[in-house]
Chain A
C-alpha cells in the first residue's frame, strides 16, 4: 500500500492477556518507530529500528513490552500480561532515512487503539 498500515485498528482485551500489534511500513523505508499516545498525553517513544542495527529499546516502559522487525519490513509489538495502564493508541511510523541523509520525516499509520478492561 501507499502508507503505513497498522492492524488491528481497535483491540479490546482483558487484563492479563497478551496482545500483538502489527505494523507494515512503507516499502523501502529502513527506519521504523513505535510510539504510543495515552489519553490526553503526547506521543511517547517506545522503540526504534534502523536497518540492521540493534534497535533502540530505551522507551519500552517495562519488560512486558517487546518488539520485533522481521526481514527489515513488518514489525510486531507484543505486550504481555496487559494492564489497564497499557490502554492507549499505539502508533507506528516509518521513514526513508537513507544512509548519510538524516532528517527524513516520519510517516505514521493510523494507530491501534488498545483498551484493556
Chain B
C-alpha cells in the first residue's frame, strides 16, 4: 500500500525555467509534509516542509504547495539551476510529525543547460 506516491519517475527542465514536482498521498491522517533532495552516494537532505494548517510555504527558490482536499502537494523550483539536478523525495507524517516519515518513490530531476 503506497501511501505517498510520486508518479513521475523523472523530469527534465531547462535551466532558468520552473521545475514542478508532484506528490499525492492517500492517508488523511498525514498532517506534515516534507521534501528531501538526494545526490548519488549521499543520504537525502531536508529541503522544505509544510504543515497541514498551511497551503503554501516558500524558502528562496523553493515553494511547496499543499492541496488538502485533493491530497496533493507540489514543489516548485524557480529558477531551476544545474545544481538542482538530483532525486527529490516527498515525505509525510501523522500526529503532528511525531510518527515515522513515509516516503514516495522519488523523482529524478535533470536540469539542462
Are the C-beta atoms of A105 and B34 separated by less than 8 Å? yes
Chain A interface mostly helix, strand, loop or mixed? loop
* A-side interface size class: 20 to 34
Are the C-beta atoms of B34 and A102 separated by less than 8 Å? no
A42-B106, A103-B49, A105-B49 known; A56-B100 Cβ under 8 A: yes
* Residue numbers in B under 8 Å from A35 (CB-CB): 103
A33-B100, A45-B102 known; A103-B43 Cβ under 8 A: no
* Residue numbers in B under 8 Å from A110 (CB-CB): 41-43
Residue A91 at the chain B interface, CB threshold 8 Å: yes
* Residue numbers in A under 8 Å from B51 (CB-CB): 103
Residue A79 at the chain B interface, CB threshold 8 Å: no
Shortest Cβ distance from residue A82 to the other chain B in the assembled complex, whole angstroms: 22
Distance between Cα atoms of A35 and B104 in the complex (Å): 12
> Could you give 16 example pairs across A and B, Cβ below 8 Å?
A42-B6, A42-B103, A42-B105, A43-B91, A43-B106, A44-B103, A45-B102, A59-B100, A97-B98, A102-B96, A103-B51, A105-B46, A106-B36, A107-B46, A109-B43, A111-B43
- Given A42-B103, A102-B32, 13 other A-B contacts at CB below 8 A? A42-B4, A42-B104, A43-B44, A43-B103, A44-B103, A45-B100, A91-B43, A91-B44, A93-B43, A103-B49, A103-B96, A106-B36, A108-B43
Residues of A within 8 A of B (CB): 4, 33, 35, 41-45, 48, 56, 59, 91, 93, 97, 102-111
